[in-house]
Amino acid sequence: MQPSTVTNLATRLPSSRRPRAARTGAARRPRAARTGAARHTGTAYLFLAPFLALFTVFVVAPSIFGLWISVTDWSPFKDTQNFIGLQNYIDLFTPGSITFGDFWQSMGATGIFTVLSVPCLLIIPLFIAILLNNNIRGGTAFRAIFFAPYVLGVAVIGVIWKYLLDTQSGMLNHILGMLGLPSDIPWTVDVPWAWVSLVIVTVWWTLGFNAVILLAGLKAINPDLYEAASLDGAGMIRKFWSVTLPGLRPVMLFVSTTTILESANMFGQSYILTKGGPANSTRTAIMYISDQGLSQNNMAPAAAMSYILFAFLAVISVINFRLQREKTE
Amino acid sequence: MSSTTVPKTPAPSRSRSAASSAAGSSVQAPRRRPKGVAARTAGLYAVLIFVALAIILPLVWILITSFKTDGDVISNPYGIVPDPASTEAYSTLAEGQQPIFLWLLNSFLAATLQTAIILVTASLGAYALARLEFRGKKIVFGVIIGTLLVPPVIFLIPNYLIVQNLGWLDTIWAITVPGAAGAFGIFFLRQFFIGLPAEIEEAARIDGAGDLRIFTQIVLPLSRPALATLAILSFLANWNDFLWPIYVLLSPERLTLQPGLSQLQGTYSTHFSIVMAGAVIASVPVLILFGIAQKQIVESVASSAVKG
């Protein structure tokens, strides 16, 4: 039974992932695989057809279509579109153009939010995951409670925190007042408080998500490593730096990448809590792009903006990947 | 150190032994004093309980506020007990010009429809990717996986135009079909199908079963847990979608709860009890779903990074 499992799996895996032993062990395999491939191609595409139809129309087509829009003077009020090359992109990089100031302000706001929120969204959940990893009683209950806000939509999160953070009748200012602290903090209507609010709300909303993933990563670390470190006389802090963090690196790469992307795509929190204010200072790139493209009918420049944002995110992801990769080696 | 004496308090030794038993060695490694362990456990619980309260109490406060009258919220904004306890906010919502219970229905229909589309298309496609060898497989799979990393903003404007051209603006199709084309479902199910034992399928194939039969009678029944998890995650994602429905839904009676709630906020901005009643209506269904499927949801999120 055991060998047959290996063979079956081997024929099913793409050749590059086939175990070396299985590949060299059976000389006949390549030909068998090839005839097998010929036999299943029609069936396979029938199975894939419904998904590929949707995928083509709503994923592949729009990514090409969007790129095309961004090099035209597309407008919903005109019947024809003209190819204008990189003009939309050039405008976005030309100081003084209509969109330059607002677009880069929104990119800056996105950058500020990402820089402020990502460390909080990594460190606090990691701390909680480490606490939960102590085999304590009620661990699953705590885990469920911490995760719960994540299932609520951003609109729910937004309206309830709009109330909790209200300057006059919000509970947070009331509690601060009871503790003898300033009780008139303009949480959502003035900077820098608006940034603090957006970060607090985002942490409250999503900390459980990251904590759950990091906890799974902690559980996957070989306990022998901790035991060995103990025998070498390592204390708690030493073990954290030399066992926990290195063992967590692949999971941390995943969590940090998704968290950076989520933060850079922030929309709902600003939309509801601060309405992008004061004076557009918390208007994120996604807010500005969607407003320009879908409310102001400025579709071509908005499409160009979305590709510029994409380029930034791609570069940041690659840098993040490289940095964390290098540490491993 | 000679602190291998039996701890005086039983509770900390329990939690401690779980951590140290992994090595199973008879020689005790140097350990902290039991007293320190007890203090540490207490501190641990203190922090966890503090965080748990920081999450639960705001939600409780929202619930309390939703049962207050408008006058009560203004005259006694921090009263812990509604005086009088009233469903005024809910009835105002029910009778107001904004049809929140219709939004609730719309949200439910849209989330269900999109979940159904995803389950059908992703499971069929994932079967091909997991079990069949075919020409172009690597390219198809590579393109699907590649789009997992593309930020959704890229699709925003072109998909709006595509949906507009299809005549789908302001319909349920706009908020269900484009979102079902994402790569997550097919990727998720493919991972699961690959992990299923191939022997049963092989046996069925030898008995002359075709792929459709193997898929419907063997693979799908074996995949119930994965299909349930995907269904829950898809339902939640659609229920909570915010940016896209704001722009593709236009008439008040077509809205879903998330954009609806944002409008409610605009209408009743200072009538907190009414807005909070809206938030409660939008939260209760997903919190119930989470209550039922908490373990599956959390486990599937937990495994997403470790396996991937």
Query: Looking at the structure, do residues A42 and A136 belong to the same domain, yes or no?
Result: no
The tens digit of pLDDT for each residue in B84-106 reads 888 989 999 988 888 999 999 99
Chain A residues near residue B22 by CB distance under 8 angstroms: 223-224, 226-227
CATH 1.10.3720.10 in chain B is located at 97-267
**Assigned CATH for B97-267:** 1.10.3720.10
Query: Looking at the structure, do residues A177 and A249 belong to the same domain, yes or no?
Result: yes
Beta-carbon separation of A233 and B55 below 8 A: no
Residue in chain B lying closest to A212 (CA): B302
Query: Looking at the structure, do residues A32 and A160 belong to the same domain, yes or no?
Result: no
Per-residue confidence (pLDDT) for residue A137, from 0 to 100 = 87
Strand partners, A72: A83
Beta-carbon separation of A54 and B181 below 8 A: yes
User: Which tokens go with B125?
Assistant: 């496609």
Per-residue confidence (pLDDT) for residue B297, from 0 to 100 = 87
Per-residue confidence (pLDDT) for residue B149, from 0 to 100 = 80
Computed from CA positions of residues B262, B268, B273, B278, in that sequence, does the dihedral angle turn out positive or negative? Answer: negative
Interface of A with B in 70-129 (CB under 8 A): 128
CA A292, A114, B47 angle in degrees (round to 5)? 135
C-alpha B265/C-alpha A50 separation (Å) is 39
* CATH number of the domain that residue A268 is part of: 1.10.3720.10
Q: What are phi and psi of A83, to 5 degrees?
A: -75, 120
Per-residue confidence (pLDDT) for residue A23, from 0 to 100 = 41
Query: Looking at the structure, do residues A135 and A221 belong to the same domain, yes or no?
Result: yes
User: Which tokens go with B244?
Assistant: 């896209």
Helix, strand and coil percent figures for chain A, each rounded to 5: 75, 0, 25
C-alpha A189/C-alpha A210 separation (Å) is 29
**Structural domain total, chain A:** 2
Query: Looking at the structure, do residues A239 and A163 belong to the same domain, yes or no?
Result: yes
Tell whether B243 lies on the interface with A, counting CB pairs under 8 A: yes
Task: Determine the 3-state secondary structure of A72 from DSSP.
Answer: strand
Of A58, A136, A290, the CB nearest to B181: A58
Cis amide leading into A278 (omega within 30): yes
Mean pLDDT, residues B247-275 taken together: 92
Distances (CA, A) of B48 to A120, A131, A137: 17, 8, 12
Domain assignment of residue A161, given as a range = 102-328
Q: Amino acid identity of A177? A: G
Query: Looking at the structure, do residues A151 and A43 belong to the same domain, yes or no?
Result: no
The tens digit of pLDDT for each residue in A99-149 reads 899 999 999 999 999 999 999 999 999 999 999 998 888 888 999 999 999
Mean pLDDT, residues A20-38 taken together: 43
Per-residue confidence (pLDDT) for residue A191, from 0 to 100 = 86
Task: Determine the 3-state secondary structure of A83 from DSSP.
Answer: strand
Residue in chain A lying closest to B304 (CA): A213
Query: Looking at the structure, do residues A190 and A266 belong to the same domain, yes or no?
Result: yes
Query: Looking at the structure, do residues A110 and A254 belong to the same domain, yes or no?
Result: yes
Residue A160 above 50 pLDDT?
yes
Query: Looking at the structure, do residues A232 and A316 belong to the same domain, yes or no?
Result: yes
- At B13, is the pLDDT very low, low, confident or very high (cuts 50, 70, 90)? very low
C-alpha B242/C-alpha B106 separation (Å) is 14
Residue A325 above 80 pLDDT?
no
Tell whether A199 lies on the interface with B, counting CB pairs under 8 A: no
Q: Is residue A81 part of a domain?
A: no
Per-residue confidence (pLDDT) for residue B308, from 0 to 100 = 45
How would you class B174 by CB atoms within 10 Å of its CB: exposed for 0-12, middle for 13-18, buried for 19 or more? buried
Residue A289 above 80 pLDDT?
yes
Query: Looking at the structure, do residues A13 and A126 belong to the same domain, yes or no?
Result: no
Of B298, B299, B303, B306, which to mutate for an interface test with A (greatest number of A Cβ within 10 Å)?
A: B298
Beta-carbon separation of A151 and B297 below 8 A: yes
The Cα of A181 is separated from the nearest Cα of chain B by a number of Å equal to: 17
Residue B6 above 60 pLDDT?
no
Whether the complex's predicted ipTM surpasses the cut of 0.85: no
The tens digit of pLDDT for each residue in B243-257 reads 999 999 999 999 999
Per-residue confidence (pLDDT) for residue A168, from 0 to 100 = 87
Query: Looking at the structure, do residues A152 and A37 belong to the same domain, yes or no?
Result: no
Q: Is residue A257 part of a domain?
A: yes
Q: Is residue A267 part of a domain?
A: yes
Interface contacts (A, B; CB < 8 Å): 320
The tens digit of pLDDT for each residue in B33-81 reads 566 778 888 999 999 999 999 999 999 999 999 999 988 888 888 888 8
Per-residue confidence (pLDDT) for residue A327, from 0 to 100 = 60
Of B54, B162, B297, the CB nearest to A58: B162
Mean pLDDT, residues B153-172 taken together: 95
Tell whether B113 lies on the interface with A, counting CB pairs under 8 A: no
The tens digit of pLDDT for each residue in B205-224 reads 899 888 999 999 999 999 99
Chain A residues near residue B184 by CB distance under 8 angstroms: none
Strand partners, A315: none
pTM of the entire structure? 0.84
